[in-house]
């Protein structure tokens, strides 16, 4: 009794973690094997729980536990005389189970995606509306006024996104050097501030918003108090040789809105009447007579105000910082993934894991007893491998074709 108690105290947590991992794998193998036999499966679980209890109380040592558990693994994976050199993992019933489960998972995942996003147009509308909500939530949390949707900015963003897909580039500037704000029709939208965020390879607004907020330069655009309106375009197409979903965000402020805000601020801060000027004030030269110092903006004379303000506004918009470094964000690292993101990720992991499992099991069956082979087992397993490979590679929904790494610029 003393030895057993001493052994329990000296076993390290890592050792217990390894034991629990082995027990978990054994349970998974048992679940697959006994899927068609509920009564045997329940008995198997009771036996496993009893062995774990005996192991923790010291009634059974680790070696005995591993030996008992290895018997099931051997019968399940290893060809030997006890199972007729046909591992139970590769028998027809097991192979049918693998294929059936894989087909059901594929059908469920694809059906869910089509129910959520029936068409690329529906995804664009849903993500666009949600992006505006998330942007305004971030601005509210930062104590900044929310942005109003602008149809003119949306049209400009749509044109910029379509040009990127048609000409196969992902950048703020076009190949010939056209700047982002040059997509905005100055006659219709007389802006004084403008900015742009770009992203591609995503299927939900939450994921792309989280990635943009992690980048200081993109976050600055989202919460910038200079902006009063936003236009968002979400497009589906082929870019850089693969199917993708593209986001273009245009932020802006019109001159008329700036003037209204300035006028309102002037009225609010109006103070007492100014003091009377002296009797003989110093003469002030006219605008045409003033000589600017080096680096100083020339004075504005009558008839030039609109043109000079327009040039200054353009310079101010151009001076807005643009992130020129492509940022790659692994979507699994983002906590704000939606159910759609998780369904795509977990279904891909499931098919890949099941495919690797069957291939490894087939390899063990061939090499362990290489002189004793059952051609029917090998051919049936190869057929299941081919089916799993097709289910892994073929993407029925357009969202499944989007890579798992999000790109922002």
Domain assignment present for residue 285? The answer is: no
- Whether residue 159 is predicted with pLDDT greater than 90 in this model: the reply is yes
Tell me: pLDDT of 37 over 60: no
- Mean pLDDT, residues 290-300 taken together: 36
On whether residue 208 sits in a domain, the answer given is yes
pLDDT winner (highest mean) among 75-79, 153-157, 190-194:
153-157
Q: Are 147 and 186 within one domain?
A: yes
Between CA 289 and CA 266 the distance in angstroms is 29
- Beta-carbon contacts of 93 under 8 Å, excluding residues fewer than 6 positions away, are 36
Residues 106 and 110: their CA atoms lie apart, in Å, by: 6
Distance CA 196, CA 321 (A): 9
Position 274 in a domain: no
Cβ neighbors of 185 (< 8 A, separation 6 or more) are 152, 156
Q: What is the pLDDT of residues 337-361, one digit of tens each?
A: 778 888 888 888 899 999 999 999 8
State residue 28 phi and psi, 5-degree precision: -65, -45
Pick from 3-17, 165-179, 241-255, 298-312: least confident: 298-312
pLDDT of residue 299 exceeding 80 = no
Question: Distance between CA atoms of 48 and 54, rounded to whole angstroms?
Answer: 10
Do 55 and 151 lie in one domain? The reply is no
How much of the chain exceeds pLDDT 90, in percent?
26
**Local structure of 192: helix, strand or coil:** strand
Residue 69 and residue 139 share a domain: no
What average pLDDT does the segment 86-103 reach?
A: 88
Q: Is the domain of 110 the same as that of 137? A: no
In a domain, 289, yes or no: no
Residue at 267 is within a domain: no
- Are 127 and 74 in the same domain? no
Per-residue pLDDT band for 88 (boundaries 50, 70, 90) equals confident
Low-confidence winner among 53-57, 222-226, 310-314, 388-392 (lowest mean pLDDT): 310-314
Q: What is the mean pLDDT of residues 202-216?
A: 89
Helix (H, G, I), strand (E, B) or coil at 351: helix
pLDDT at 301: 30
Total of domains in the chain = 3
Q: Please identify, among 235, 262, 289, the residue that sits at the C-terminal boundary of a domain.
A: 262
Better-scored residue on pLDDT, 90 or 64: 90
- Closest alpha carbon to 53 in 70, 42, 65, 38: 65
Q: Flag whether 175 is in a domain.
A: yes
CA distance 198 to 234: 10
- The domain boundary, picked from 89, 115, 141, lies at 115
Residue ranges making up the domain that contains 237: 123-262
Query: Which pLDDT does position 246 carry in this prediction?
Result: 93
φ, ψ of residue 126 in degrees (nearest 5):
-65, -50
Q: Same domain, yes or no, for 32 and 84?
A: yes
Is there a single domain that holds both residue 77 and residue 142? no
Q: Give yes or no: residues 241 and 128 share one domain.
A: yes
Residue 153 near residue 230, CB atoms below 8 Å: yes
pLDDT, residue 147, reads: 93
Residue 357 burial by Cβ neighbours in a 10 Å radius (0-12, 13-18, 19+):
middle
Residue 286 lies in a domain: no
Same domain, 65 and 164: no
pLDDT at 103: 93
Residue with more model confidence, 270 or 246: 246
Query: What pLDDT score does 287 carry?
Result: 37
Please check whether residues 156 and 224 belong to one and the same domain: yes
* 323 part of a folded domain: no
What's the pLDDT score for residue 323?
A: 61
Residues 137, 253, single domain; the answer is yes
d(CA 148, CA 254): 12
CATH of residue 172's domain is 3.40.33.10
Domain boundary among 96, 115, 134: 115
Instruction: Answer with the residue of higher pLDDT: 380 or 54.
Output: 380
Question: 95, 85, 93: which is closest to 386 by C-alpha?
Answer: 95
Clarify whether residues 108 and 132 are in a common domain. Answer: no
Closest CA to 54 of 65, 44, 46: 65
Query: What is the predicted pLDDT for the residue at 366?
Result: 86
């Amino acid at each position: 009794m003393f030895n057993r108690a001493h052994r329990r105290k000296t076993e390290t947590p890592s050792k217990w973690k390894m034991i629990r991992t082995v027990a978990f794998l054994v349970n998974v193998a048992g679940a697959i094997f006994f899927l068609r036999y509920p009564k045997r499966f329940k008995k198997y679980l009771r036996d496993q729980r009893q062995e774990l209890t005996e192991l923790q109380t010291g009634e059974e040592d680790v070696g005995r536990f591993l030996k008992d558990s290895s018997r099931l693994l051997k019968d399940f994976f290893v060809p030997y005389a006890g199972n007729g050199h046909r591992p139970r993992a590769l028998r027809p019933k097991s192979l049918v189970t693998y294929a059936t489960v894989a087909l059901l998972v594929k059908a469920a995942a694809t059906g869910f995606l089509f129910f959520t996003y029936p068409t690329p147009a529906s995804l664009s509308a849903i993500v666009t509306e949600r992006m505006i909500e998330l942007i305004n939530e971030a601005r509210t949390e930062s104590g900044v006024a929310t942005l109003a949707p602008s149809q003119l900015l949306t049209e400009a963003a749509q044109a910029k996104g379509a040009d990127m897909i048609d000409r196969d580039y992902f950048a703020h500037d076009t190949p010939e050097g056209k700047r982002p704000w040059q997509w905005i029709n100055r006659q219709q939208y007389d802006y004084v501030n403008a900015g742009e965020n770009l992203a591609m390879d995503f299927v939900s607004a939450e994921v792309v918003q989280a990635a943009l907020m992690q980048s200081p330069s993109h976050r600055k655009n989202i919460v910038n108090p200079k902006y009063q309106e936003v236009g968002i375009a979400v497009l589906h197409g082929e870019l850089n040789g693969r199917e993708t979903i593209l986001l273009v965000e245009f932020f802006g402020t019109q001159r008329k809105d700036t003037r209204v805000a300035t006028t309102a601020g002037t009225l609010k801060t109006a103070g007492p009447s100014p003091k009377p000027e002296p009797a003989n004030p110093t003469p002030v030269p006219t605008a045409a007579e003033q000589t600017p110092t080096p680096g100083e903006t020339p004075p504005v004379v009558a008839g030039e105000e609109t043109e000079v303000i327009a040039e200054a506004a353009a310079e101010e918009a151009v001076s807005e910082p643009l992130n020129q470094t492509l940022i790659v964000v692994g979507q699994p690292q983002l906590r704000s993934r939606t159910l759609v993101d998780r369904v795509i990720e977990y279904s891909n992991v499931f098919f890949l894991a099941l495919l690797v499992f069957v291939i490894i099991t087939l390899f063990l069956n061939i090499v362990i007893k290489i002189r004793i082979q059952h051609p029917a087992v090998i051919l049936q397993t190869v057929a299941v491998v081919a089916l799993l490979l097709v289910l892994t590679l073929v993407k029925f929904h357009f969202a499944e074709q989007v890579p798992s790494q999000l790109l922002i610029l």
